[in-house]
Amino acid sequence: MTIDFLTMPDNEGYFGEYGGQVLPPEMKKIMDEINEAYDQVRKTEAFQKELSSLNKDYTGRPSPIYFASRLTEKCGGAGIYFKREDLNHTGAHKINHCLGEALLARYMGKTKVLAETGAGQHGVALATACALVGIDCEIHMGEIDIEKEHPNVTKMKILGCKLVPVSRGTRTLKDAVDSAFEEYLTDPVNFFYAIGSVVGPHPFPKMVRDFQSIVGYEAREQFLEKKGKLPDVITACVGGGSNAIGLFTAFLEDQDVKIVGIEPAGKGLDTEEHAATMTLGTKGAIHGFECYLLQDGEGNPLPVYSIASGLDYPGVGPQHCYLKDIERITYETADDRECLDAFMVMSRLEGIIPALESAHAIAYAMRIAADMDEDQEILVNLSGRGDKDADFVAQRLGL
């Protein structure tokens, strides 16, 4: 059976049985307005021209594909390649959808753009896009993440956004979403909630996927040009799932390309301190949509944990859930220890300090390379750079 992945989701925002709008009717109405505006504006030549010129001249797209020869030599086996989203302006893939969302907010005449952030990458990218477009920006961030990711906190302040520290619950990503959403609900007509991943109610999983898919379309063409063939395995870390779906979308119909998403196993899958939603979650609802969820017996999200602040979310994008169920994508895990090891090996062998989030996918590539042939290739989405994590890792490892 051939599946036309790009026509997904359906009109109600479902990818198979996941997604939708688990919201009161008045909020559904607002989401439908955003969907309509998005469907209209994205087809206009003016919007496409503006976004593509910003992608090129502002973000620095296309990001290159890099062959990591020393890492490959160390691991043995398959060649390891990176799609360098870490080289984008603001240091991660998040700018790809933030520019799109900020332009849409301006088009819709919204007065304030709001969002949550975990690692601070989405917050910095959104504050940047809002400065560029000229709209007020407000970012909610858990106190634990504020402490861990302070370089990004400083940047957000310099960029002129209002930073709201979140002190409830686990003081991390999920609580930041709850807090930002509450503020959004005070005036959803004039505010725009620019979700930081392929999560939330329809149309956000679709919209963020569309803006991020440039990563995979570029990568597919670049890889073919470089190697005359497609990679054997492509992989990316999965928090909400935006960098992963960004890389994967262009390859979904290439059945010979194995696609693997990497979730954080934190302190171990046999502990309560992980965020392996796809691996150990069950179907539930969070933040206005249905997905695999780490939940208690009453359907409440469980507290989750990862060394990478951008990955500790108890839910996951609905398209990922669907792609797991139809067995097009496999989901594996990497734990904190493997992540830190990959972070250091990548830094010392390649001179590239990766984001802790991305280091999960690097750890997986390092794990499988030796069992593959030398004429095979793995393409990893290097979703961001690790400047934000440098002090934390140095302290943790006593450097």
Ligand X SMILES: Cc1ncc(COP(=O)(O)O)c(C=O)c1O
Among residues 59, 128, 179, 383, which is the contact residue for ligand X, using CB under 6 A? 383
Q: DSSP letter for 385, please.
A: B
How many residues bind ligand X (CB under 6 A)? The answer is 21
Strand ranges (DSSP E) for 256-383? Answer: 258-266, 282-286, 289-293, 329-335, 377-382
CB of 231 to ligand X, least distance (A): 19
Choose the stretch contacting ligand X; rule: CB under 6 A; options: 119-127, 285-293, 328-336, 368-376.
119-127
Binding range to ligand X, per CB under 6 A, among 48-56, 59-67, 113-121, 273-281: 113-121
Binding mask 80-109 for ligand X (x = CB under 6 A): ------------x-----------------
Which residues in the 287-326 window bind ligand X by CB under 6 A?
310-311
Nearer to ligand X, 113 or 372 (CB): 113
How buried is 153 (Cβ within 10 angstroms: 0-12 exposed, 13-18 middle, 19+ buried)? buried
Q: In the bound complex, what is the minimum distance in angstroms from residue 119's beta carbon to ligand X?
A: 4
The 10 Å Cβ neighbour count of residue 299 is: 12
- Indicate which residues carry an active-site annotation: 94, 116, 383
Q: How far is the CB of 169 from ligand X (least distance, A)?
A: 18
Amino acid in the structure at residue 240: G
169, 139 contact by CB (below 8 A): no
x/- track of binding to ligand X for residues 229-248 (CB under 6 A):
--------xxxxxxxx----
Structure token digits, residue 138 = 């407000």
User: Which string of x and - marks every residue 177-216 that binds ligand X (by CB under 6 A)?
Assistant: --------------------x-------------------
Could you say whether residue 249 binds ligand X (CB under 6 A)?
A: no
Shortest distance (Å) from residue 122 CB to ligand X: 5
Which residues, in sequence order, are CB contacts of 113 under 8 Å at separation 6+?
101, 102, 105, 126, 130, 135, 136, 137, 138, 191, 192, 193, 194
Select from 79, 100, 118, 266 the one that contacts ligand X (CB under 6 A).
118
32-40 own/partner pairs: CB under 8 Å, 24+ apart: 33/108, 34/104, 34/108, 34/192, 34/203, 35/202, 35/203, 37/104, 37/107, 37/108, 38/104, 38/203, 38/207
| Contact pick of 83, 84, 110, 122 for ligand X (by CB under 6 A) | 122
Which positions from 9 to 48 touch ligand X by CB under 6 A, shown as an x/- string?
----------------------------------------
Return the SS3 of 342.
helix
Residue whose CB is less far from ligand X, 247 or 369? 247
Q: Among 316, 320, 340, which Cα is nearest to 328's?
A: 320
Determine the angle formed by the axes of helices 94-107 and 25-41, rounding to 10 degrees: 100
Q: Considering only CA atoms, give the Rg of the chain.
A: 19
List the beta strands (DSSP E) in 267-328: 282-286, 289-293
- Give me the least distance between CB of 260 and ligand X, in Å please: 14
Nearest to 366 by CA among 347, 353, 380: 380
The binding track of 333-372 with respect to ligand X, each residue x by CB under 6 A or -, is: ----------------------x-xx--------------
Q: How far apart are CA 57 and CA 55, in angstroms?
A: 6
**135 or 195: CB nearest ligand X:** 195
- Specify the residue, 294 or 372, whose C-beta has the smaller distance to ligand X: 294
Query: What is the nearest approach in angstroms of ligand X to the Cβ of residue 352?
Result: 13
Determine the number of helices (DSSP H) and then strands (DSSP E) in the chain.
16, 14
* Interface contacts to ligand X, rule CB under 6 A: 92, 118-119, 121-122, 197, 237-244, 310-311, 355, 357-358, 383-384
